[in-house]
Amino acid sequence: MTSEGVSFAEASAPDGMRLYAIGDVHGRADLLKRIHDRIDRELARDNPADWRVIHLGDYVDRGSDSCGVLDFLLARMAADKRHMALMGNHDERFAMFLRDISEWANFMNFGGRETAQSYGVDLLGHPDEAAAHLAFQAAVPDSHLAFLDALPYSADFGDFFFCHAGIRPGVPLAEQKPEDLVWIRKEFHRHEALHPKVIVHGHTPVGAPDILANRVNLDTLAYDSGILTAMVFEGREKRLIQTEPF
């Protein structure tokens, strides 16, 4: 830690706590279950004093089983509050579309048709958009909308700050706007100086985890690549866990 900020190499998780951060899932419930199986085995084997599993957002759209992803997360979080889920821009737009049909174009452009299909609704298979929207609203369980509405935009533990997209450089972490936390790209990516904490995020797909001095990007395009990425933080140790593509 320096007066200017903390670097990835120096950053540390809280004493006695192991942290897992999982990148963008985008409807790949199969990959999410596989990476959780790996985490479960590690936790059972090592029995750390405390732990958190932090999902970085974008649970829905593009992949084939967004409904299954939300079911899985709801069950995990109900079983143990140390499982955490943060808001992603796709999750935010999903909730907006459920309430407002004017978001139709945005939802469809974001891969929302696949999300609706995972609930048994073909948005293009109805007489008009209004009928499709009503069918989709009826198909989504109240528990899923409540889950989306309750998602926090960030979390921080030790020297790490977790969010979906990134932060606006120069703005204190406690004063970051939700819009930036789920949408920002250019200003954040171009900033090379250290932040008050290392920012762990997803949102922007990369071919391999992007590990820089001031941030870590764990979005490895899981819905298309089959590679869902997590990073483990324990003390100053950092390591990756990834699913193997079929």
Q: pLDDT tens, 97-145? A: 999 999 999 999 999 999 999 999 999 999 999 999 999 999 999 999 9
pTM across the whole model: 0.96
The string of DSSP codes covering 11-79 is --PPTTEEEEEE---TT-HHHHHHHHHHHHHHHHHH--SEEEEEE-S--SSSSS-HHHHHHHHHHHHHH
Is 237's pLDDT higher than 90? yes
Average model confidence (pLDDT) across the chain: 97
pLDDT at residue 1 in the model: 44
Tens-digit pLDDT profile for residues 29-62: 999 999 999 999 999 999 999 999 999 999 999 9
pLDDT tens track for 161-200: 999 999 999 999 999 999 999 999 999 999 999 999 999 9
Instruction: Tell me what pLDDT residue 245 has.
Output: 84
Domains of the chain and CATH, by start: 17-242 (3.60.21.10)
- Tell how far CA 73 is from the center of its chain: 11
Percent of the chain with pLDDT over 70: 98
Predicted pLDDT of residue 4: 79
